[in-house]
Structures are given as C-alpha cells and as structure tokens.
Structure 1
Amino acid sequence: MIRPAAAFLLLIAATTSAAAEVELSFYGGVQSANASDVTVRNDSVIPNGDFSIDWEGRSGDAPPYYGIRATKWRESGFGYGLDFAHNKIYPKELPPGYDVLEMTDGLNTLTVNAYRRWNGAFGDVSPYIGGGLGLAIPHVEVTAPGSETFGYQITGPAATVIAGASYPINDRWSVFGEYKGTYSSNKADLDTGGTLETDVVTNAVNLGVSFNF
C-alpha cells in the first residue's frame, strides 16, 4: 500500500510540474490533541459503549509529527494548494477492555487550502492566514482480546485553519512559523465488524522551511 505521504508527493509532482510560483514546504513542531468522546458499536468481543479519552500527541516519538505543503501563489497575495499533515493521537489512559486504541501512524489529514499573505508587511516578514477542507486518512490501531484493527482508512471529513509568518533566507528559501488547528470526523471500521467513531481536534505550533520554484 502507498503511504499517504508518498501519495501526496506523487500528486504534487503531477499537478505542479508545469507550474510557476510554486512553494513546497516541510514542517514539524509540537502537536497536541483535545479530549474527545468515542463511540464503539460492534457485535464481537470489543467492548461496546460511549466513553471519553484524553489524547496526547507525543510529537517527537517515532513516527514523528510532520507535514508537507504545496502552494501556488498569485501576485495578488492569494494562494491555494494541498497540505498533508501526519498528526498523532495516543490515549493518556486506555479504556477498560482495550490493549491498543490510537492513531499514531497517524491521524493523517489531506486538505485543499486557500491562503492570503501580505508580502513584506513587517520588513522582510510576511504574515499569512489560511484554511481548507479535505479528508481524514488515519492509521487505525484498535486491539482487544480476539480482535485487531491495524491499517489506513478514509474515515471522514477534515478541516484546518492556519496563521503564521514567513521570512526569506534568499531568493529560493524561506523559513516560517505558524499555528495550525485541525478538526477531523472519524468513523473507522473494525476488523471483526462494527465501527469506532470520534471527532478530534489537534493543535500544533509548527516551524518549517519552504523552497520556491
């Protein structure tokens, strides 16, 4: 199976090879997640019910939190593009009856974003805002005695908002820092039948580097 990040890079290559004014960005940072309600419905050995989980991101644990972004900018200061984020959620405490319940490879999102930036608004610093809609493509990991779900799924819609600023190093390279918030609505299929549902909000402070071509 092609991993979501690899598919994202192939999509960029296909859509931007003939384009000018394209910015390719790579970022990492510190990502956390809000607590969320979880609903499990199945007819097998996995415990059914509704419960709440306090999540954590553990950004530096392997596989680490990261993102890749491709943006086509116009002279007007408006831009659009694709953003792939490898978010992660670990439970601070497992609910009774579960050996594993997490999305750590990861709670991936792929969104189509629109942006507005103000070039050189503060000397060489260019602030920007953005937002977009797309899909949640997590690696669902749910294990209980007699059942193991382990794999990528498209689980529902995702939305993101971004606010940050960039600073040029030279004509091609720049660095940036930003806040990025992401919402995903997830309905995952379990291997022994039934579903797990949860809506998750992640928050990240990102630092990254961009290459313009």
Structure 2
Amino acid sequence: MSGLARKRGFRWALAATAAGVVVGMTGCQPMDTGAAVKPSGGTPSHGATAGTGSVGSAGQPAGPGGACVFVKPDGAQKFGHTGWGFRITGTDRWEYGAVENPGNGLYTPPGGDIGAWHAEGSYAQMLSDMSRDAHYPGKSTHPYSRYRCTSSSTSDVNGARAMIRTVESRGFLVGIDPETGDLGSRDCLDATYDVLKAYRTRHLTPAYQTEIPNVWVETLVLWTDKALTPR
C-alpha cells in the first residue's frame, strides 16, 4: 500500500473511532438508519458540460460511453455503500452490479460469498433494478437512493468485464488483512472504483483503500447528481 493510501486509511479508522462505531461491522451492508445525504435533485455538479455530465436520450449520459455510481448513503453505519454501472459503448445497453456483503463480516477470503452480482439491461432497467435492490442476495430494507452519472469519450467494456470477474472472486476486506497484516480494503467502493477505472471512465476521482464511500462520492466532478426512487 502506498504511503498516501495508508495515511488516508488511518484517517478513516480514526473517524470511525470518533463516531463510536466499529468500521466495517456491517461492511458495505446498507442499514436503515433514517438519515441520508440529500442529492442535488438532478442538477449536474460542478458545472457539467457536453461530453461529461451531459444527458442523452431517456435521461442517460450522451455517450458514446458512460458510467454511473449508485449510492446507499446510510450503508455501513452511515459511511455509505456504492454500486456501479457502465454503458456498452455506442449502444443503449448497460452493465451494472455491486458487492453487497450480506454477511456483514470484516473479512471474507477469496472465493467466499460476498454478495457480488452483476446484470445487463437498458438504462431504464438499470435504474429500476437499483432503486428496488432487485438483485440483492436476500431481503433488502434500504435500496439505492442516489445516483451520479457521467458521459465518457473513452471506454473499455472488455476491461471492465474482466475486472468484474476479479472483484467477484477476490473476497472482502475492511481493516487489517489477516493474511498480510496490512491495513487495506476490498469492499463495495473498491469494487465500484476498480470496475469503472478498468472501463477507462473519464473524470473518475481516485478511491484510495479504506476511503469513506460517502466522502468519495462527493468528489466526483462533472457527474450528475440525482435522487433514485423505486420505479
């Protein structure tokens, strides 16, 4: 782990201690706490312009590529939970998914059940599935309630698909890795960032290991910001 990533990781752990919670006790599992970060109601953040946060047909990013981050602000003791989506370049089809961690553990070894899933559909189908937690492994009490999207002039669908296979098989971690003794993470945000980075998403802010999801989501410059309600 780099020095910067380690420093940010320690800040995350200290913030959790100050809040009086055990970070990762629920991993990236959403919890219905009744509080949420309010989205901006659909206004593109930080002056989105054509080719970035611009909107195409059916409200989706204009293309040819595009990416979305889905958010459960109350997940993981209000630190947040994220899922991802990306456009199959030049089409109206999207692939989307998440690592849900329904077992709530801090650590699951590679190959274990981490509640990972992915699906393909239209932009409207993606929003519908995410708003209802249609693919959640078990009973969800708090679906995704916010999403941020951007157009992307660069894209690599095959690279993103390869990364999906990686994140779904590498296990789950928040905190100290029992195999190496290092502070690190392989959680919902790492999965979201790694898939969208492999897709070559434009304007994707780096997500360091053990980054707080709700903090990272606010750093997405030139991404739209909308509420997501069941549909």
Give the TM-score normalised by structure 1.
0.28
Give the number of the structure whose alpha-carbon radius of gyration is greater.
1
* Structure with greater strand share of residues: 1
Give the TM-score normalised by structure 2.
0.26
